[in-house]
Structure 1
């Protein structure tokens, strides 16, 4: 039993309510029924061993006497049990997706730092803080792989000429630098009146890697927008750690972190405009708006329109919030990568669907990790979501079984003992299992979306990212 459970005297009897299946339901409780089922493994065609489950219409949490103090053994046992839900046996992966675009990924951090250079030393340091840190760099990796995966897909008319034209001017201002007044020490010789000479050797290299300079720049822009959102989110959440290091707000203060995030968005917007593609600009500009709207949805948790009694509307609200905060950037960047490569609308649509479903799956796994991984492994405090008042997928699924969660969700787990009680209900419900199943469903949809692409290492890399995401630990 998890050490955060309250002592028996502090934990009320919980009524477990069976509800009919609803939208996003992955398993259905039934009143006093025993079933034996077999289901295929998400990563292969083998059938899993039959499992027998018994569900009753009314039950209570185990009334086990708990020790006064947490013991390492009890803590480890609880985490081990919970981790089984996200550590299903998976096949060994022989292809490393990052190796396919290793050259581009190697230059990613330096290129972004060049784009963020400022004549003000303090701003320069804060703006590059999260860029320098070791991160997953998932978003630029996906963009680069998408660029390669769509290289041999059908092209729109005049696609090649448009692609070369954009790639030759990604560092050239559209407006006179005297008007822009945006000096970047890393690009001291950029002059809006002079077009740079196209390096034929560099273009030959781009053809060999099947990734154009504009697509590489898109990958950098995507990571800049993501880093800006992290700086802002950590201020909102009063975060103390990020990627195993002090968060930006803790290291530099809230004001500096906010201003640095704004600076990242500004420089990302400049780089985006110089891609000279109206649809791509529109896509990435709306991502920034989506991030803000999603954050507002998360702050309110849907409590303005959702009652304390469970409703499918609660999960619909959560999915929309998750798309805006997480999946929007990945999905629209994937579509932009296809468009910059000159792909047809059908190919661009498929790229978008891959990114959308990957983003949703990614966030659902994130929700799981908050309940199954230690703070040391995750790089942030345990129970962080509940302590922030967030009702994520495991809580919403548990709410279908434990109606007592409704009032806690509405008050954002703000009363004493709410976090511990909610944690106990999630652990004793099928919320973690159903969250994992939903993540698997979105992962499958992501892989299906790009099945129209020609076979290639890049496409296989994208498929593996969707699969590996289900078993990641951070």
Structure 2
């Protein structure tokens, strides 16, 4: 099975530079915020999102080289992603992420919220300094979408009558918007025409949606080590994802368990069994495969290069997490 490290190999040195630059960019803040931010960057993330920006940037570059603005865009992408994780952990009251204590469990909630705000503010400042209004709009939209997705998710807990469209919209906001808009922003910095910019956005959007659906399947089929959090934690929190929505179509009795918020003994276990007994996991897998294929097709126009080959492996990698 191919790993993220192998896929990102064409931009391995770029990612090393990115991490070094990020440490110096966030090093000018308050010592506690700096410590919180340092802790985030050392939590062993795969750097997938900035890696995608760097691969796109190299794949569309005429000479294969990166401009300073493309490097900075990748850094801003990672800052925004990391800031959103800190806030997510506070909202979800998660004590660990990828096996490392979360910022709020290491410091406190106030510091964690401020650390997330600090990173969003830093990202906005560096974004403004790119002096490209189109890119500012694209990445500002991401920050809006992240908050919007979190609010949508919070408001729709334990609501068994929510539509599949609402689930996809929330998934786009929380996961796919950053990939879609940062890919498009890389193209915008390179001066690509609107047709190519739309295809870059489509690639990021469909890859992000495939990624989210796979995550939602793993909530039912994965283990804690694989997930970085307890299995079935989304369902227990009342977040209804693709497998649950598909299962509700086959198993109407699931609705009652959800509506009473699994308040009786055995409710959550029964709900899990109903999802696993249905065809919901297979349907969700087919949906993820459809999104992955659509993301691949969106990049057919790219000229042959190591970066293009790496980008075309990403949809397959996203699906491979299921096996």
TM-score by length of 2: 0.94
In 2, distance between residues paired with 1:371 and 1:452? 37
| Structure 1 position 416, deviation (Å) | 3.8
Indicate the residue corresponding to 1:452 in structure 2. 301
Task: Quote how far apart the aligned CAs of 1:380 are.
Answer: 1.2
Return the offset for 1:232: 0.4
- Matched with 1:142 is 52
State which of 393, 398, 411 in structure 1 corresponds to 2:242.
393
Residue 361 (1) aligns with residue 210 (2):
yes
Alpha-carbon shift at residue 97 of structure 1 (Å): 2.2
Say which of 292, 305, 311 aligns to 1:443: 292
TM-superposition CA deviations, 1:101-151 (whole Å, max 9, x none): 111011222211111113522111012221121012110011011111222
Aligned counterpart for 1:115 among listed residues 25, 33, 38: 25
| Distance change in 2, residues 1:411/1:144 (3 Å) | farther
Alpha-carbon offset, residue 407 of structure 1: 3.0
Q: Measure how far apart 1:420 and its partner are.
A: 1.1
Contact 1:370 1:383 in 2 (8 A): yes
* Partner Cα distance (2:33, 2:61) in 1: 38
Separation of aligned partners in 2, 1:414 and 1:227? 34
Q: Does 1:259 align with 2:169?
A: no
Deviation at 1:337?
0.5
From 257, 274, 278, give the equivalent of 2:129. Answer: 274
Distance between the aligned counterparts of 2:128 and 2:150, measured in 1? 25
The 5 A counterparts of 1:187-226 are 209-226=64-81
Change in Cα spacing, 1:439 to 1:473, as seen in structure 2 (3 Å) is closer
Aligned to 2:95: 240
Distance 1:314 1:302 in 2: 13
Quote how far apart the aligned CAs of 1:410 are: 3.7
Q: Is 1:104 matched with 2:14?
A: yes
Return 5+ residue gaps in structure 1 as ranges: 1-89, 153-206
Q: CA deviation at 1:258?
A: 0.4
The C-alpha deviation readout for 1:77-114, integer Å capped at 9, x for no partner, is xxxxxxxxxxxxx7x79x93211011101122221111
| 2:61 paired residue among 130, 147, 151 | 151
CA gap of 1:294–1:316, structure 2 versus 1, over 3 A, is same
Aligned residue for 1:10? none
Aligned residue number for residue 166 of structure 2? 317
Distance 2:175 2:31 in 1: 31
Cα distance in 2 for residues equivalent to 1:281 and 1:417? 49
* Alignment partners' CA distance in 2, 1:412 and 1:142: 39
SS at match of 1:275: coil
1:231 aligns with 2:86: yes
Structure 1 equivalent of residue 193 of structure 2: 344
Q: Over aligned residues, Cα RMSD in angstroms?
A: 1.9
**Cα shift at 1:384:** 1.2
Q: Does 1:333 align with 2:182?
A: yes
Q: Deviations over 1:292-322 (max 9, x none)?
A: 110111012276xx7x5x6xx6111100000
Higher helix share: 2
Given the superposition, is the C-alpha separation of residues 113 and 395 from structure 1 closer, same or farther in structure 2, using an over 3 Å criterion? Answer: same
Distance, in Å, in 1 between the alignment partners of 2:322 and 2:102 is 20
Q: Which residue of 1 aligns with 2:152?
A: 297
Distance in structure 1 (CA, Å) of the matches to 2:168 and 2:202: 15
Contact 1:109-1:132 within 8 A present in 2 as well: no
TM-score (normalised: structure 1): 0.65
What SS class does the counterpart of residue 210 from structure 1 fall into?
A: coil
Contact 2:157 2:238 in 1 (8 A): no
* 8 Å contact kept, 1:377–1:473: no
- Any idea what the Cα deviations from partners look like across 1:350-403, whole Å, max 9, x if unmatched? 100000000000001111111112112322112111121111111111111100
Q: 1:375·1:381 contact (CA, 8 Å) conserved in 2?
A: yes
Which sections of structure 2, spanning at least 5 residues, go unmatched?
none
